[in-house]
Amino acid sequence: MVSSAQPWWQAATIYQIYPRSFADSDGDGIGDLRGIADRLDHLVSLGVDALWISPIFPSPMADFGYDVADYTGIDPRFGTLADFDALLAKAHGLGLRVLLDFVPNHSSDRHPWFVESRSSRDNPKRDWYVWHDPAPDGGPPNNWISDFGGPAWTFDAATGQYYSRAFLPEQPDLNWRNPEVRAAMLGAMRFWFDRGVDGFRIDVLWHMVKHADFPDNPPNPDYREGMGEMHRVLQLNSTDQPEVHAIAADMRELADRYDAMLVGEIYLPVPRLMTYYGPADAPGVHLPFNFQLIEARWNAAELAGRIAEYEAALPTGGWPNWVLGNHDRPRIATRVGAAQARVAAMLLLTLRGTPTLYQGDELGLPDAQVPAGKVQDPRELREPGLGLGRDPVRTPLPWTEEGGFTTGEPWLPIDPAHLPLNVAAQADDRDSTLTLYRHLLALRRATPALATGTIGDVRAEGDVLTYLRSDGTDRYRIALNLGHRTAAIDLEPGTVILSTHDAATASSLRPDEGLILKVD
């Protein structure tokens, strides 16, 4: 295990790439590894430290890569292992770390493991997946609901049992109670670590183990129409089981041998989220993803409360992290508006902890409008009209005024409203959102107090959120106006070093303005 005074990921900023939509090098309309390699200069000039690539493994694409058919290969749509090795080498040469997206809860139904498991009840791999007899009436074994709606079980007529699947029928759940499954999946992680990967984002980590007795989930007393069918019940028995922490500890022990890091996708309340850091003698993932900024109402009091609650809940040695958006949730510019999205950028990049950016947020992109006939997302197709579809945040990145993503027809259309926000135009605009992100990231890199310092004095006064960052020598006051009116502020003497607007003062905040003050 490699040790250092400070793990590299604590001062790092991570950038999520959705590979189908980042850059297409061969004109087939789907982004690929060579396209990513060709555009690494954008990430370098932006000032991030690591890229996380959503799944690129061989897949039938029932859920666009989150249904894996081979954990140690590259899907031909994205390229080859040689292309991946070339991308990894180029990224490392530019000082960028590379994280892959590991999908351990479920595989594709076309994975050779499941093909064997499904072939007969006495197949040696039968217990590699979660199988159960029907209920007395012949229906599903219990009331668990898929995250995409409908029962979380699919009946296999040939063998007379149901298999568990938390998502699509094409995504059968692996049985992590089987030590052979655990060994095989850790072996897949080791394959990529040996190749030089710097870490993994672990998909739906809290889903990975189900209650051994398969009891019903209790009804959700707060359910209301329009929330999505999955919310009819509380997922107390189908997720977040105590046994998952030993699995996370095994993954962590492996990652630590390579000086690599693990980020866990976990949508849970803060107290339960904190358990995924693990105890000191069996630590879990380095960063249990913190989605507080995605889920919060956008006002100063709410954000101050969430920041304080999260910081207070962190276990000894637990490092915080923050994120504004991802490939599953509406974009920040749609949630809070274009002006407040700039304030949100300053918030994300000045809070204590490791931030993760989602591709396109640095351009201020709103959710795309996707014509009904072009919808691709299986979630939207299964529960239409509820606004749960993820296509609006997955459309191709606009590189130029013409699009610049592909020479062919993109797999999802580029929203015409995105074209004026393209990378080339914003790169030369001193007032653009991209320029603001570059300034924020450069300041973060150059300022220990902002990168890894303490946070304190978190306050909400009217529409204004303020907090103090310090490394024991230098102090910085961040003041963010989350309202649309001018707000008087009373800050310590100091010098404004960056504003989301043009030249700023330390006596008032203009509407939708954030500033960073170096305290005298």
Query: Under CATH, which architecture does the 8-107+178-441 domain have?
Result: Alpha-Beta Barrel (3.20)
Which residue intervals of the chain bear CATH 3.20.20.80? 8-107+178-441
Q: Where in the chain is the domain with CATH 3.90.400.10?
A: 112-164
For position 503, what pLDDT does the model report?
74
Inter-residue contact 167 to 146 (CB < 8 Å): yes
Q: Given a cut of 90, is residue 46 above it in pLDDT?
A: yes
Could you tell me the pLDDT band of residue 5, with boundaries at 50, 70 and 90? confident
216: amino acid identity, one letter: D
Quick: pLDDT tens for 222-271.
999 888 999 999 999 999 999 999 999 999 999 999 999 999 999 999 99
To the nearest whole percent, how much of the chain has pLDDT over 70?
99
Q: Which pLDDT band holds residue 505 (cuts at 50, 70, 90)?
A: confident
Would you say residue 4 has pLDDT above 50? no
How large is the average pLDDT for residues 371-397? 94
Other CB atoms within 10 Å distance of the CB of residue 25? 18
For residue 270, the tally of other CB atoms under 10 A from its CB is: 15
**Beta sheet of 161-164, edge-to-edge order:** 131-132, 161-164, 153-156
Report whether pLDDT(507) > 90.
no
pLDDT for res 1: 29
Section 400-423 average pLDDT: 98
Determine the average pLDDT of the residues in 334-344. Answer: 98
DSSP class of residue 408? S
**Distance of alpha carbon 507 from alpha carbon 491, whole angstroms:** 7
User: Cα–Cα distance between 334 and 197 in angstroms, integer?
Assistant: 33
Q: Does residue 450 carry a pLDDT above 60?
A: yes
Integer angstrom CA distances of residue 321 from 211, 274, 353, 355, 434:
29, 12, 5, 6, 22
For the segment(s) 453-519, the CATH number from 2.60.40.1180, 2.40.128.720, 3.40.50.300, 3.20.20.70 is: 2.60.40.1180
214, 375, 388, 395 from 371: Cα distances, Å: 41, 7, 15, 12
Residue 380: the pLDDT is: 94
Banded pLDDT at 93 (limits 50, 70, 90) = very high
Q: Catalytic residue numbers?
A: 203, 265
Share of residues in the chain with pLDDT > 90 (%):
96
For CATH 2.60.40.1180, list the domain ranges present in the chain: 453-519
Give yes or no for a contact between 36 and 53, defined as CB atoms under 8 angstroms apart: yes
- Measured distance CA(479)–CA(435) in Å, rounded: 20
> How confident is the model at residue 387, as a pLDDT?
87
Distance from chain centroid for Cα 124: 35
Q: 112-164, what's its fold?
A: Oligo-1,6-glucosidase; domain 2 (3.90.400)
17 bridge partner residues: 53
